[in-house]
């Protein structure tokens, strides 16, 4: 079974938010995603979506976007991005998934998942330009670092339990924001993370992309406009 990743779908089937205002590359992007997804992904595969799924301001507006994703092949694990305004609490989102029979979708938030040869952990993260209030930024970054640690602790438990059974798994991390500020890289290094995927960057922001092996961690950028609306295979 294969594992893929694609981020920043920015769907807006439940609201009016055309993405082509950000450039011609976004013209017809929903169909591009759908076509590429169906060409690659089988029902037994898993797709990781590191945030910015929907422009819906609440779960009701976001529902058509989740329905679109739910109908695509494979199991999906998603996390919160900075534009996922529908996100209130983990419990509310998980109840929403159950109530609407969105049975191919699972939320990554303070938890971890076993996926083939990997254990997936993650958090939203944070960026340098999201806030003009330096003190507020410090608090948000500290909170996101804490959430990443919670997820990694859950992942480490799973790793050790499997190791006792003779099964070796590597820990990988999904973040919405690039991890190259504050202590995110340091934290991942402490937990022996082998791969980190991230998104968020668009347009000129993609000049800040870092990929490849950095300090023994493989970094991959998976924002859909960067990948030409295709999915990145991770295994």
pLDDT at residue 131 above 80?
Answer: no
The CATH number for 76's domain is 3.60.21.10
Which residues touch 14 (CB under 8 Å, ≥6 apart)?
54, 56, 60, 61, 62, 63, 64, 65
* 219-233 pLDDT tens trace: 999 999 999 999 999
Give the mean pLDDT of 119-147. 88
Distance CA(101)–CA(225), nearest Å, equals 29
Going by DSSP bridges, is the β-strand pair 3-5/46-49 parallel, antiparallel, or unpaired? parallel
Look at the alpha carbons of 220, 221, 227, 230 in this order and tell me if their dihedral is positive or negative.
positive
Structural domain count, the chain: 1
Are 202 and 8 within 8 A, CB to CB? yes
Query: Could you tell me the residue range of the domain that residue 56 belongs to?
Result: 3-233
What confidence tier does 214 reach under pLDDT thresholds 50, 70, 90? very high
| Whole-number pLDDT of residue 134 | 78
| Whole-number pLDDT of residue 129 | 62
What confidence tier does 205 reach under pLDDT thresholds 50, 70, 90? confident
* 149-164 pLDDT tens trace: 999 999 999 999 999 9
What confidence tier does 167 reach under pLDDT thresholds 50, 70, 90? very high
> Mean of the per-residue pLDDT values for the chain?
95
| Whole-number pLDDT of residue 7 | 98
Total-model pTM:
0.95
Are 8 and 223 within 8 A, CB to CB? yes
pLDDT at residue 51 above 70?
Answer: yes
């Amino acid at each position: 079974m294969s594992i893929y990743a694609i981020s920043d779908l920015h769907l807006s089937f439940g609201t009016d938010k055309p993405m082509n205002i950000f450039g011609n590359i976004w013209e017809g992007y929903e169909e591009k995603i759908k076509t590429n997804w169906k060409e690659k992904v089988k029902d037994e595969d898993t797709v990781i979506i590191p945030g910015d799924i929907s422009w819906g301001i609440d779960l009701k507006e976001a529902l058509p976007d989740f329905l679109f994703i739910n109908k695509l092949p494979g199991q999906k694990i998603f996390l919160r991005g900075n534009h996922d305004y529908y996100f209130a609490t983990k419990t509310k989102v998980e109840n929403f998934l159950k109530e609407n029979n969105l049975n191919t979708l699972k939320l990554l938030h303070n938890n971890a998942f076993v996926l083939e040869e990997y254990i997936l952990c993650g958090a939203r993260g944070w960026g340098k330009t999201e806030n003009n209030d330096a003190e507020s930024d410090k608090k948000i970054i500290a909170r996101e670092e804490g959430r990443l640690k919670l997820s990694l602790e859950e992942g480490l438990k799973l790793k050790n339990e499997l190791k006792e059974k003779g099964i070796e798994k590597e820990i990988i991390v999904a973040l919405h924001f690039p991890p190259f500020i504050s202590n995110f890289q340091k934290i991942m290094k402490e937990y022996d993370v082998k791969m980190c995927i991230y998104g968020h960057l668009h347009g000129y922001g993609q000049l800040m992309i870092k990929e490849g092996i950095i300090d023994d961690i493989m970094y991959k950028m998976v924002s859909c406009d960067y990948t030409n609306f295709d999915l990145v295979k991770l295994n």
